[in-house]
Amino acid sequence: MAKTKTKRLSSPQELEALRELIVKGRDPNQSCIVICGGTGCLALGAQEVINAFKQEIEKGSLKNKLALRVTGCPGFCERGPLVVIKPKNILYQQVKSEDISEIVSATVKGNIVDRLLYTDPDTGQKITYEHEVPFYKKQKRLLLGDNSNIDPTIIEDYLALGGYATLSKVLFKMSPDKVIDEVKKAGLRGRGGGGFPTGVKWESCRQAQGDTRYVICNCDEGDPGAFMDRSLMEGNPHSVLEGMLIGAYAIGSHQGYIYVRNEYPLAVRNAGIAIKQAGELGLLGKNILGSGFDFSVKISRGGGAFVCGESTALMASLEGKVGEPRAKYVHTVEKGLWEQPTNLNNVETWANVPLIIKNGADWYAKVGTEGSKGTKIFSLVGKINNTGLVEVPMGITLREIIYDVGGGIPDNKKFKAVQTGGPSGGCIPESSLDLPVDFDQLTDVGSMMGSGGMIVMDENSCMVDIAKYFINFLEGESCGKCVPCREGLKRMSQILTDITEGRGKEGDIELLERLSATLADSSLCALGSTAPNPVLTTIRYFRDEYEAHIKDKRCPAGVCRELVTYLIDEENCPGCGLCVKACPVEAITDMGKKKPVVLDQEKCIKCGACYDVCKLGAIIRK
Amino acid sequence: MPTKSKPAKPKVKAILDSYQGDPSMLVSILQDVQAEYNYLPKETLTQVSQDLDIPLTRVYSVATFFKAFSLKPRGRHIINVCLGTACHVRGAVRIRDEIERELDIKPGETTEDFKFTLETVNCVGACALGPIVIIDSKYSGQMKPDKVKTLLESYD
Ligand SMILES: Cc1cc2nc3c(=O)[nH]c(=O)nc-3n(C[C@H](O)[C@H](O)[C@H](O)COP(=O)(O)O)c2cc1C
Ligand code: FES
C-alpha cells in the first residue's frame, strides 16, 4: 500500500483531503489478498502463508495486479489460516504455504481454487463467498466487519473507511453534552460485564469535582476463555482510540490509558503503533485537528492478575501499586486514578462509540432488545464445530448462536450446557436455549452476559468439574484482601475437590449453598460476590450430577479421574495397537495381531488417552 | 531473550530511562527487566527501588503479586500450558500432567539442567486451537498427550 507522507493535520478539511487522496490512490476493483494475521491464525502457521504470498507476488512482479493485506481476526478461527480475496470476498480456508502459487495464479486469471473453499457440512456443497458461509450468515458484524478491510499497522486503511471523521464531527459540530445525550439515547451499556449505561457513567464523570479527569480502556480481558477484546485491539485499534477520543471530549479529559493484558503481545504492539501513527497525524496530542482539544494515551501492561480487570484494582495497578480492589463507597467516576474523576470502559464499549455518533442514536437503537441495544461479540469456544468470534445482534437466541452460527456440537455428541459470563457467570442448560441473549435475560437464569465468553459443553463435560475449575481459578486469583473471598473460596474448593475425588458427604451441596450466600453478601469486590455463580447454577440445573458423585461415587461424564476405571472390551478389541502407542505410561501391552490388548490397572493413570484414540469402542470407561 | 550475562546495572538504568523514571510504570518496568534477565534478580529490584525512590517492600510486593514475575532464575525455554476454560474443557489438564511427567517438574519449577521452566497461563486468546501449549513464543495448538514428548524433544 502506498504510504502517504505524514504531516500533522490541522483542520477537518485537511483530514477529508487526506482521505480523498488515499482513496484516489487505490483501485477498488484491484484484487486484494487478505490474510488473517491474528493470534489464532498465526498459531496455525499464518506467518508462513504471508511470507509465501509476498514471495509469489515478488516473483511474478504482480505488485500492480495484486495487493496484499495482513489483517486482524475475521472470526472464523476454526478454519484458519484464513484468506479472503477482495473485492469479491472469496473465502479460502485452512490455507497452507504450498497452496499459495495456485491461489495467486487463479486470482490473476479471475479463477477460483475450488479445493480450498469451505464445504457446508449439511449439504456437502462448496461455498465460494464469505458472506454465504453459514457461520457468517446470522451475524451482524458492525464492529468486527471492518477487521478484514484494515491492516491495523497502517492508519491510512482506517482513514480510507472514513476513520476519525466522526471525531472531527464531534470536535467541531457537537457539544460535550450533545455527545453524552446521543450515547445515552442509543442505550449503549458497558460490554465489560456489568452492563452499566455508558452515557450515564460519562455524565457522572463529567460532573464530578476534580482538576484532572482520566479515561481508561479496559483491555485486561481476564475471562479465561474469551478473546473479543484482543481481536478488536489487534485488528482495529483506531476504532478504540477514536471512541476514547470522543469519550474524552465529552467528559473533559486530556489523558487516557489503555490497560492491556501482558499475555496479548500483538495487541500491545498494534495499540502502540496506532497511538504513534495517530500522534504523527495530529489525531492525538495537542490541539487535535486544530480544535484546541488535547488528548494523549499511554499503554500500560498488566501482570497476569484477573482481579486487575476490576475497576479499582486496575487503577491501583496503573499507579504502579499492587492490584488490590478497594471498597467503592466513593465511585471511581468521582475518585479514581490518582484520586481524580476517572471513566473506565471496556474495549468493545469504546469501539461502539464512533458507530453511534456516526450513524446516530436512533439507527443504533434499532438493533437489539428493549433493554440491550446494539450487537455483542462472543467468543464461541469449547465443544462446538465453528469455534471463533461471533458478533450477533442482542436478542438472538442461544440456540441460534450455538446451532446456526456455531454449527452445533462436534462428533454428534449431545449438548449439555453453555457457560457464559466467565468465572462470574453460570452454566445454562438445554431447557433455556431459546432464551434471547441480552443483559437482563441471562441474569434471570442465574448467569450473566459477562464480557462475552461462551463455552459450550457436551455430554462428556462434567458439571461438578467445571464448577471446581472456576472456583480453583478464582481461589488462585483472589487478591486475599477480604476474608469471605479468600477463605470462602478455599473452603469451596476443598469441598468440590472432595466431591470429585470420591470423598463427598451428605450435606456438601447445602454447605456449598450456604458458603455461596456468604460470599455473595460480604465480599469486597465483585470477584468474590459473583464467584458462587458457577457453583449455584450447576447445582440448580445439574443437581443429579453432584448427587451421583456424592452418593454413588460416580462421575457420569467420565471426567473425574478418581471415579472412573478404564477396561478393555476383549470382544471388540482387534489388537490394532493404537491405544498402546497413545498410552503415556506404557500401561497397555500389545499381545500380537488380532489378540486384544491388556491393560495394567496398577500402571493406569486414567488419563483417557486410549479412550480417545479408540474408534471401535473397545475401551470401556466406567 | 534469555541471556546468560550477569545482571549489569546499565541495562536496568536504560529501562528506567525509557520510562522517564516514572514510578507509576513500575509493572511495565519490571516486565522489561524480566525480559532482559529472564527473571528478576535481587539486585535489579534494589536498583529499581532506589532509582524510582519507592520502598523496596513495595517493589517486592508488586513483583510477588503478579503472576508474570519470577524471582528465581528460569530455564532456557519457558513452557506455558494454557489452562483457560476453553482449553480446560478440551483436556488441557492431561497435557499439563503429561509435561509434568515427562520433565518431572511441577508448574513454577525449572528442570535441573535449566532447560525448561513449566508455567501455566489462563487463556492466551487462541481458544479455537485448544488445548494450547506455548514454548517461548511458539504456539502449538490442538495438543494431545501423546504429542508432548516429540514437542519437548524438538528443543535443545
Ligand atoms: C474480578 C473482575 C474482573 C473484571 N475483569 C474485567 C475485564 O477483564 N475487562 C473488562 O472490561 N471489565 C472487567 N471487569 C469489569 C470492570 O470492573 C468494569 O466494570 C468495566 O471495565 C467497565 O467498563 P464498561 O462499563 O464499558 O463495561 C471486571 C470486574 C471484576 C469484578
Ligand atoms: S482458553 Fe486456552 S487459549 Fe483461551
Residue A314: closest CA among chain B residues belongs to which residue?
B27
A255-260 and A214-219 beta bridge pairing: parallel
The CATH code that applies to domain A565-621 is: 3.30.70.20
| Architecture per CATH, A27-149 | 3-Layer(aba) Sandwich (3.40)
Is B13 near chain A, with CB under 8 Å? no
Each residue of B46-86: pLDDT tens digit? 999 999 999 999 999 999 999 889 999 999 999 999 999 98
The letter for the amino acid at A539 is: I
Ligand 2 center to A263 CA (angstroms): 11
pLDDT band at A1 (very low <50, low <70, confident <90, very high): very low
Is residue B3, in this structure, part of any structural domain at all? Answer: no
**The 3-state secondary structure of A434-499, one letter per residue:** CCECCHHHHHHCCCCCCCCEEEEEECCCCHHHHHHHHHHHHHHHCCCCCHHHHHHHHHHHHHHHHH
Q: What whole-number distance in Å separates Cα of residue A407 and Cα of residue A402?
A: 6
Please identify, among B65, B89, B108, the residue that sits at the C-terminal boundary of a domain.
Answer: B65
- Looking at the fold, whether B81 and B57 belong to one and the same domain comes out as no
Residue A2 reports pLDDT greater than 80 = no
On whether any CB of chain A is under 8 Å from the CB of B90, the answer is yes
Examine residue B20 and state whether it is found in any structural domain, yes or no.
yes
Report the interhelical angle of A508-522 vs A483-500 (nearest 10°). 160
**Residue A92 scores a pLDDT above 50:** yes
CATH number given to A375-458: 3.10.20.600
Is residue B81 domain-shared with residue B148, that is, in the same domain? yes
- Cα–Cα distance measured from residue A384 to residue A276, given in angstroms and rounded to the nearest whole number: 39
- Do residue B146 and residue B99 come from a single domain? yes
Q: What is the pTM of this model?
A: 0.93
Residue of A595, A153, A585, A169 lying closest to B97 (CA atoms): A585
B81 and B128 within one domain: yes
| Complex ipTM > 0.85 | yes
Indicate whether B137 and B90 sit together in one domain: yes
A492: how many CB neighbours lie within 10 A of its CB? 25
Single out the residue of B26, B145, B37, B149 nearest to residue B97, CA to CA.
Answer: B145
Asked if B25 and B81 sit in the same domain, the reply is no
The predicted model gives A194-212 an average pLDDT of 96
State the pLDDT at residue A90. Answer: 97
pLDDT tens track for A252-306: 999 999 999 988 999 999 999 999 999 999 999 999 999 999 999 999 998 888 9
Q: Are B111 and B84 in a shared domain?
A: yes
Task: Determine whether the shortest distance from the Cβ of A345 to ligand 1 is under 6 A.
Answer: yes
Neighbours of A433 (CB within 10 A): 17
- Of all residues in chain A, the percent with pLDDT exceeding 90 is 85
Question: Residues B51, B106: one domain?
Answer: no
Shared domain for B46 and B93, answered yes or no, is no
- Give residues 482 to 541 of A whose Cβ lies within 8 Å of B: none
Considering only CB atoms, which chain B residues are within 8 Å of A46? none
pLDDT-derived band at A328 (thresholds 50, 70, 90) equals confident
CATH 1.20.1440.230 fits A463-551, yes or no: yes
| pLDDT band for position A57 (cuts 50, 70, 90) | very high
Residues B60 and B101 placed together within one structural domain of the fold: no
The CA distance from A433 to A426, in Å, is: 14
Say if A27-149 and A375-458 have the same CATH topology.
no
Sequence spans of domains, chain A? 27-149, 162-364, 375-458, 463-551, 565-621
Which CATH code of 3.90.660.20, 1.25.40.80, 1.20.1560.10, 3.40.50.11540 fits the domain covering A162-364?
3.40.50.11540
Last residue of a domain, which of B26, B42, B65? B65
Q: Would you say residue A506 has pLDDT above 80? A: yes
How many domains is chain B built from?
A: 2
Supply angle C-alpha B31, B97, B146, rounded to 5.
Answer: 110
Mean pLDDT of successive 10-residue segments in chain B (156 residues)? 56 92 90 93 95 94 91 94 92 93 95 95 86 92 89 93
Q: Measure the CA–CA gap between A411 and B89, rounded to whole angstroms.
A: 15
Assess contact for A578 and A613: CB atoms under 8 A. Answer: yes
Helix, strand or coil, per DSSP, at residue A389: strand
Print the domain residue range for B128. 77-153
DSSP state at residue A570:
T
Percent of chain A scoring above 70 in pLDDT? 99
Residue at a domain's end among B34, B65, B96: B65
Q: A329 exposed, middle or buried (CB, 10 Å; 0-12, 13-18, 19+)? A: exposed
Q: How far is A321 from chain B (nearest CA, A)?
A: 6
pLDDT, position A117: 97
pLDDT tens digits for A215-244? 999 999 988 889 999 999 999 999 999 999
Q: Give yes or no: residues B103 and B124 share one domain.
A: yes
Query: Which amino acid, one-letter code, is at A261?
Result: R
pLDDT tens digits, one per residue of A142-186? 999 999 999 999 999 999 999 999 999 999 999 999 999 999 999
Q: How close is the nearest chain A Cα to the Cα of B26, in Å?
A: 5
The rounded distance, in Å, linking the Cα atoms of A365 and A481 is 41
